[in-house]
Amino acid sequence: MTEPLAPEDFPGPPGLPFIGNVRAIDLAQPIESLMSLAREYGPIFKLTPPGGISAVVSGVDLVSEICDDARFDKVITAGLSILAEGPVDAGLFTAHTDDPMWARAHGLLMAPFSMQAMRDYMPAMIDIADQLMDKWDRLNPGEEIDVPADMTRLTLDTIALCGFGYRFNSFYRETPHPFVQAMVRVLDETQTRQRQPPIQTRLKIRAQRQFEEDQAYMASLVDDLIRERRAMGDAADNTDLLGRMITGVDKQTGLTLPDENIRAQCITFLVAGHETTSGLLSFAIYFLLEHPEYLDRAREEVDRVLGGTLQPTFDQVRELTYIRQVLDEALRLWPTAAGFRRHAKEDTVIGGGRYAIPKDLAMMVLSPMLHRDRSIWGEDADEFNPDHTTPERMSTIPPNAYKPFGTGQRACIGRQFALQEAVLVLGMLLQRFELIKDPSYRLHTKVTLTVKPADLFIQVRPRADRTIDKAEPVTVSAQAQTKPGSAVGNA
Ligand code: MNH
C-alpha cells in the first residue's frame, strides 16, 4: 500500500511565500473561484492561505466519508466564533458539539422546528407574504424590483414574527430597522476581522466600540421581549419560537434553557434564517425567468392547487410539489450556504488510504461543486432543470450527494421552516404576477455569509388571466395567533 498523501502534498494551486495562494481566489467571486479550482485540481485540493493549510472537498465519496459524525465534526470557524463573544452567547450555530448547552438547546428545539410545528407558523408567514404581495401589486408599470432586497425584507420579518412576535416592518421602511442595521454591522465586522491580523483588530478602537454597542443593542432588544413574555405568564400565546423556548424542556436532560441562551438562539435564528432563505427565493426567481418552460409548469401547478385562494393553507403548500422541486434544484446549483466545514476528531486517512487527515485540518465541503457531479445528475448537471430533483430521483441518489442544509447532527434545524416559507411565497407570487426579466442580466453572485444573485432586478405585472379571491384581510401578530400550541415533537 502506498503512503497516504499529507495535506501539503495534496493537489492545489501553487502558493507564494507569506501570502500563500490567496491570489488564486478572486475576492469578488470567491465561490466561483473555488469551483474553478475544484474543476482543475479535483475532488480534494489544498489551499495555503496565511492562516495555514486547509482542504476543499467536493467529491461525493470523500464528502460522504467526512460527513460521518462518528469520525468527523463541525469546525466552528474563527469568524463565526466572534459572534459568540461579548454579550452574544453561543447559539446553536456557533456552539461546539461537545458543549452541553448545544445538546440541550438542540434537543429542546427539535419539536419547535418539526413538521408538526410548521402549521402554527403559517398565519405569521402569510401575514408577511401578504405585505410583499401588496407592495408588488401597487407598483406602477415599469418600476423595477430589487429582488434580493425585497426577499431579505420578507425573510427577516418572517423569522422575527414567527420567532418572537416582533415586527421589523421592513416593507414600511427605506432604511432597515435599527436592530437589522446593528446585525448587519456585526456580521460585516465579523467578516472584516477574519481577513485582518488580530493586532489590527485590537488597534481599531472605534470599530470595537461600535461592535460592542451593536451587540449590546441586539441583546437588549431581545432581552426585553423575553422579559415581557415571562411577565405575561399564562396569558401569553407561546406558539412562537420564543414561547416554545421559554416553556420547553429538553427530553434528554429534563432541563430548560436559561434566558442568556434563549437570547442567543433568537439572534442566531435571525442571522442564520434570513439571508439563506432570501438568496434561495432570489435564485429560484432568476432560474424560472431563464427557463420559461419550467415557469409555465410551475404556474400550472399553482393554478391547479391554489386557484384563486387568497391565503394558501398548510396542506395546499405541501401540495405544491413542483414548486418544491424548483427550490430544491435552485439549492442544488446555488446552495446559498455554499459550504460547511468539518474536521477529523482524530488523525485519520480518507479515500481508501490516499489522503492523510490530521485532526486539526479544516476541510470545507464545497456544496455547489458536490452538487454538480455528472455521475449523479447526468451530463446536464450544470443546467437548471427541476426534473433533477423529483422525489423519485432524490430517493435514489447517494445519501451525501445533496447537502444544501449541511450534515448530520449539525445540519440546519430551520430546513422545514425555510422550505415552507419559500414554497408559500413563490407560489403566491406566481399566482398573482407575471414576472418580467431584464434581458441584459447575466448572473453574478454576491457573497457575504451566504451567496445570492447580485444586481437582480425584475418587473412584474398583475396577471390578467387570473383573479384572487377577495376576503377580509386577516391580521396576525404572534401574540394574537388563533391556533393553540401543539408542541408535540417528532424528533
Ligand atoms: Mn440553516 C445550520 C443552510 C435556513 C437555522 N443551515 C445550517 C447549515 C447549513 C444551513 C448548510 C450547517 C452549517 C454548518 O455546518 O456550519 N439554512 C441553510 C439554508 C437555509 C437555511 C440553505 C435556507 C434556504 N437556517 C435556516 C432558517 C433557520 C436556520 C430559516 C432558522 C429559522 N441553520 C439554522 C441553525 C443552524 C443552521 C440554528 C445550526 C444548527 C446546529 O448546528 O445545531
Per residue in 454-477, pLDDT tens? Answer: 999 999 999 998 888 876 555 565
Atom 37 of ligand 1, nearest CA residue? 412
The protein residue whose alpha carbon is closest to atom 14 in ligand 1 is 340
* Closest atom, ligand 1, to C-alpha of 422: 24
Among residues 191, 211, 192, the alpha carbon closest in space to that of 200 is found at 192
Tell me: pLDDT of 481 over 50: no
Atom of ligand 1 nearest to the CA of 331: 22
CA of 106, closest atom in ligand 1? 43
pLDDT of residue 474: 56
Protein residue with its CA nearest to atom 27 in ligand 1? 273
CB 135 within 8 A of CB 433: no
Atom of ligand 1 nearest to the CA of 102: 43
Q: What angle do helix axes 415-432 and 321-333 make, rounded to 10 degrees?
A: 110
C-alpha grid cell, residue 434? 407575471
Q: How far is the CA of 287 from the centre of ligand 1 (A)?
A: 23
Q: Tell how far the Cα of 105 is from the centroid of ligand 1, in angstroms.
A: 14
pLDDT band at 486 (very low <50, low <70, confident <90, very high): very low
Asked if 154 and 428 count as a contact pair (C-beta separation under 8 A), the reply is no
Alpha-carbon span 463 to 433, nearest angstrom? 5
Query: Tens of pLDDT along 254-295?
Result: 999 999 999 999 999 998 888 999 999 999 999 999 999 999
Average pLDDT over residues 206-211: 91
Mean pLDDT, the chain, integer:
90
Contacts of 473 (CB under 8 A, 6+ apart): 130
- Please state the atom number of ligand 1 nearest to the C-alpha of residue 95: 42
User: What phi, psi does 268 have (nearest 5°)?
Assistant: -60, -45
pLDDT per residue over 362-385, tens digit each?
Answer: 999 999 999 999 999 999 999 999
The binding-site residues of ligand 1, defined as CB within 6 angstroms of any ligand atom, are 74, 92-93, 106, 159, 268-269, 272-273, 276-277, 280, 335-337, 340, 404-406, 410, 412-414, 417-418
Q: Which grid cell is 163?
A: 420567532
Any idea which residue has 422575527 for its cell?
160
pLDDT band at 23 (very low <50, low <70, confident <90, very high): low
Q: Ligand 1 atom 39: the closest Cα is on which residue? A: 93
Active site residues: 276, 405, 412
Q: And the C-alpha cell for 89? A: 452567547
Residue 154 to residue 305: CA distance in whole angstroms: 23
Residue with CA closest to ligand 1 atom 12? 406
User: Which of 114, 367, 412 gets mutated to test ligand 1 (max ligand atoms within 8 A of its CB)?
Assistant: 412
Evaluated on CA atoms 96, 97, 98, 103, the torsion sign reads: positive
User: Is 487 a residue whose pLDDT tops 90?
Assistant: no
Distance CA 21, CA 12 (A): 9
CB-CB contact of 405 with 412 (8 Å): yes
Q: How far is the CA of 329 from the centre of ligand 1 (A)?
A: 18
Residue 48: what pLDDT?
84
Name the pTM for this structure.
Answer: 0.93
Distance from the alpha carbon of residue 410 to the mean position of ligand 1, in angstroms: 9
Among protein residues, the one with the nearest Cα to ligand 1's atom 20 is 276
Dihedral angle of Cα 459, 463, 464, 470, to the nearest 10 degrees = -130
Whether the per-residue pLDDT at 86 is higher than 60: the answer is no
Average pLDDT over residues 154-182: 94
Give 365 Cα–ligand 1 centroid separation in angstroms: 15
Residue nearest to atom 42 of ligand 1 (CA): 410
Ligand 1 nearest atom to the CA of residue 155, by list position = 30
For residue range 394-437, what is the model confidence (pLDDT) as tens digits? 999 999 999 999 999 999 999 999 999 999 999 999 999 999 99
* 489, pLDDT greater than 50: no
Three-state DSSP class for residue 398: coil
Taken in order 58, 60, 61, 64, the sign of the CA dihedral is positive
Which of 115-119, 144-148, 184-188 shows the lowest mean pLDDT across its residues? Answer: 184-188
Q: Rounded to whole angstroms, what are the CA distances from 305 to 417, 472, 483?
A: 21, 21, 24
Distance (angstroms) between ligand 1 centre and the Cα of 415 equals 7
Nearest to 109 by CA among 214, 267, 250: 250
CA of 151 to the centre of ligand 1 (A): 17
Q: Residue 19 pLDDT > 80, yes or no? A: no
